Chains A and B, each alone.
Chain A
Amino acid sequence: GQQVMQIPQYQHVQEGEDFTTYCNSSTTLSNIQWYKQRPGGHPVFLIQLVKSGEVKKQKRLTFQFGEAKKNSSLHITATQTTDVGTYFCADTSGTYKYIFGTGTRLKVLA
């Protein structure tokens, strides 16, 4: 079945270091969404990518969609303690279901 894997599963960084999480699908994605879930909270939408090779930026966050639309990445420049949480990618594959990736849990050490 449809699977969306994320690596790494966990990442600890020193505050100020960069962080990247990768999302990989076994099938071609119609689009990809990214969500952030703070500890004890619920997932909150960050962004959606639709086009092959698309790159979008939100302040220190850079989102990229692969040329083959089978992978995506989220890069955070100069992490801050407020970046702590779990980052999920999600594929809707043209259906009404959101298939979430396995998630990357980020810890930022001050």
Chain B
Amino acid sequence: EADIYQTPRYLVIGTGKKITLECSQTMGHDKMYWYQQDPGMELHLIHYSYGVNSTEKGDLSSESTVSRIRTEHFPLTLESARPSHTSQYLCASSAGVNTEAFFGQGTRLTVV
């Protein structure tokens, strides 16, 4: 079982609220990723990190921001949630290029 955790699993929140999705891994992986996925659809990379204090935007434009202050922690923040942000957010980590990516269970976000 992979040691990567996301909280909360489910979140329903009102428009305009600020939210932070948590992702932690205990595998000591340098590389971490956030993907956005609508049910049964493609995985869209929105942010990734090579290591502490290193973050990059992914291929899908996102209004979210991330930080990487500690190796094990890669939180994603939405300053002002909108209904268009309703989706599943998946966090992943890996030891490096050409290695397996481990995914968390995901956070299903609904903005009403």
| Chains A and B come from one and the same complex | yes
Q: B-contacting residues of A (Cβ < 8 Å)?
A: 1, 30-31, 33, 35, 39, 41-45, 48, 50, 86, 88, 90, 92, 94-103, 105
Rank and list the top 8 A-B pairs by shortest CB-CB distance, nearest first: A42-B103, A45-B100, A100-B43, A43-B103, A96-B31, A102-B42, A98-B101, A42-B106
> Are A86 and B105 CB-contacts (below 8 A) given A92-B98, A99-B45?
no
> Are A97 and B101 CB-contacts (below 8 A) given A42-B90, A88-B43, A103-B42?
no
- Please give, as numbers and ranges, the residues of chain B lying within 8 Å of A94 by CB-CB distance: 97-98
- Please give, as numbers and ranges, the residues of chain B lying within 8 Å of A95 by CB-CB distance: 97
> Are A30 and B98 CB-contacts (below 8 A) given A1-B59, A43-B90, A86-B40?
yes
Q: A-contacting residues of B (Cβ < 8 Å)?
A: 31, 33, 35, 40-43, 45, 48, 50, 58-59, 90, 92, 94, 96-98, 100-106
**Interchain CA distance A86-B42 in the complex, whole Å:** 10
Instruction: Contacts A42-B90, A99-B59 known; list 6 others, CB within 8 Å.
Output: A30-B98, A94-B97, A97-B33, A97-B45, A98-B33, A98-B94
**Interchain CA distance A88-B102 in the complex, whole Å:** 14
Contact partner, B100, options A48, A50, A100, A101, Cβ 8 Å: A48
The residue of chain A having its C-beta at the shortest distance from the C-beta of B43 within the complex is A100
Min Cβ gap A8→B in Å is: 14
- A96/B40 in contact, CB under 8 A: no
- A98/B98 in contact, CB under 8 A: no
Q: List 9 A-B contacts (CB under 8 A).
A: A42-B104, A42-B106, A43-B90, A95-B97, A98-B45, A98-B92, A98-B101, A100-B45, A103-B41
Contact partner, A43, options B41, B43, B45, B96, Cβ 8 Å: B43
- Please give, as numbers and ranges, the residues of chain B lying within 8 Å of A99 by CB-CB distance: 45, 59
- Please give, as numbers and ranges, the residues of chain B lying within 8 Å of A44 by CB-CB distance: 103
Contact partner, A90, options B41, B101, B106, Cβ 8 Å: B101
**Interchain CA distance A30-B98 in the complex, whole Å:** 9
Query: Which among A1, A90, A98 has the highest number of chain B CB atoms within 10 Å?
Result: A98
